[in-house]
Amino acid sequence: MAFEGLAEKLQSVFKRLRGKGKLTEADVEAALREVRLALLEADVHFKVVKDFIARVRQRAVGQEVLESLTPAQQVIKIVHDELTQLMGGQQARLDLGGAPPVPVMLVGLQGSGKTTTAAKLARLLARQGRQPLLVAADVYRPAAVEQLVTLGQQIQLPVHAPGTDRDPVDIAREGVAEARRRGRDVVIIDTAGRLHIDDALMEELERIRQAVAPREILLVVDAMTGQDAVNVAETFHRRLGIDGVVLTKLDGDARGGAALSVRAVTGRPIKFVGLGERVDQLEPFHPERMASRILGM
């Protein structure tokens, strides 16, 4: 399971810390060095780790902690707090308020899991009583439209898919109109994968945003992503103003540090996690629970 490696590492650091009873500043420093390496090994971004360690150090190295009755416990609690903060504190829900049809747009790098997530999300919302319409706005990837149409059939939900010789901006706009006509109340727009540095394609997303004013723009991020996650998230956020993140492929053994980095640099919460290829494998993200699991608490 994802995060497991990080959990093991941190727990062994804390076990040693607990075994010590009284703590010196040097003990805390040694533990922080190990925490730093554990986070880096988990793919948390270099700078995010640096800031994190600085914050923990500031709170942990003071007299209050070191001279308390349970110094190790206090240090661990500080790390837990900071880790929970890093993951976004409270659970963040999707905001589908406003007049229907409410547009939701999925964006991200190539292969991160957008199309699959679009179908998963549509299915989840349908089970909550919503009436989603999927929109196939990836006109570039070979058979991207067919992929979404096939998934739509699997989950028995309609897909607006006018083909690939159309402008994705028009497809999105018409998708919303189509939803209004058919009385569908949520529109989930699947967009083509793109690099954050691809100016023309990033601009296309800006135009879609302008055309349909999505209530939620969700950045879909692969949990196995390394240090580049911050560049990607920062750029997508700067250009589009994302509302949340979907972290996919958490069913593997990725240490999941990208989750921490993305949240830290965008300030936007992880809203869902993808836990498999099947359309029923999408779950809400619970930061506090995840922090507890990482720390084995």
Partner 1 sequence: VVQGAALDESLYEDLEAVLITADVGVATTQRLLERLRERVRAEGVRDAEAVPQLLAEEMRAVLEAVAAPPATPAGRDEPLVVLVVGVNGSGKTTTTGKLASRYRKEGWRVVVGAADTFRAAAIDQLERWCQRSGAELVRQHPGADPAAVAFDALQAARARGANVLLVDTAGRLHTRVNLMEELRKTVRVLQRLDPTAPHEVLLVLDATTGQNALAQARHFTDAVGVTGIVLTKLDGTARGGMVVAIADQLGLPVKWVGTGEGADDLAPFDPAEFVRALFDGGPAGGGA
Residues of this chain that bind ligand GTP (CB under 6 A): 108, 110-116, 138, 141, 144, 192-193, 195, 220, 248-249, 251, 274-277, 281
- Partners of residue 217 on adjacent β-strands: 105
Choices 27-35, 85-93, 148-156, 180-188; region in contact with partner 1 by CB under 8 A: 148-156
Interface residues for Mg ion in 88-127 (CB under 5 A)? 114-115
98 contact choice in ligand GTP, partner 1, Mg ion, none (CB below 5 to 8 Å, kind-dependent): none
Told to check if 258 binds partner 1 by CB under 8 A, we report yes
Write each residue from 183 to 222 as x if it is in contact with partner 1 (CB under 8 A), else as -, in one continuous string. ------------xxx------------------------x
Told to check if 230 binds partner 1 by CB under 8 A, we report yes
Look-up of token digits 């880096």: 40
275 contact choice in ligand GTP, partner 1, Mg ion, none (CB below 5 to 8 Å, kind-dependent): ligand GTP
- Partners of residue 284 on adjacent β-strands: 272
Give CA–CA dist 102/93, Å, rounded.
15
Q: Which residue lies nearer to ligand GTP by CB, 133 or 137?
A: 137
Positive or negative torsion for Cα 265, 269, 275, 281: negative
Residue from 35, 254, 270, 282 that binds partner 1 (CB under 8 A)? 254
**Inter-helix orientation angle 257-266/71-87, to 10°:** 70
Smallest CA-to-CA distance from 94 within 210, 230, 188, 222 is with 188
Q: What minimum distance in Å lies between the beta carbon of 76 and ligand GTP?
A: 31
SS3 297: coil
Give CA–CA dist 271/286, Å, rounded.
8
Contacting residues for 224 by C-beta, under 8 A, at least 6 apart:
249, 252, 254, 258
Element of type H or E holding 5: helix 4-18
Residue from 23, 76, 232, 246 that binds partner 1 (CB under 8 A)? 232
Quick one: tokens of 61?
């190295």
Q: Which residue lies nearer to partner 1 by CB, 84 or 225?
A: 225
Smallest CA-to-CA distance from 104 within 277, 283, 296, 272 is with 272
CB atoms within 10 A of CB 253: 13
Give CA–CA dist 120/286, Å, rounded.
18
Interface residues for partner 1 in 92-131 (CB under 8 A)? 109-113, 115
Q: Which residue lies nearer to Mg ion by CB, 84 or 147?
A: 147
284 contact choice in Mg ion, ligand GTP, partner 1, none (CB below 5 to 8 Å, kind-dependent): none
CB atoms within 10 A of CB 297: 11
Would you give the distance in Å from CA 130 to the centre of its chain?
A: 23
The alpha-carbon radius of gyration of the chain (Å, integer) is 21
Q: What minimum distance in Å lies between the beta carbon of 111 and Mg ion?
A: 8
Element of type H or E holding 222: strand 216-222
Told to check if 264 binds partner 1 by CB under 8 A, we report no
260 contact choice in ligand GTP, Mg ion, partner 1, none (CB below 5 to 8 Å, kind-dependent): none
Write each residue from 46 to 75 as x if it is in contact with partner 1 (CB under 8 A), else as -, in one continuous string. xx----------------------------
Q: Which residue lies nearer to ligand GTP by CB, 147 or 261?
A: 147
- Provide the binding-site residues for partner 1, judged by CB under 8 A: 37, 40-43, 45-47, 109-113, 115, 140-144, 146-151, 154, 195-197, 222, 224-232, 234, 249, 251-255, 257-258, 277
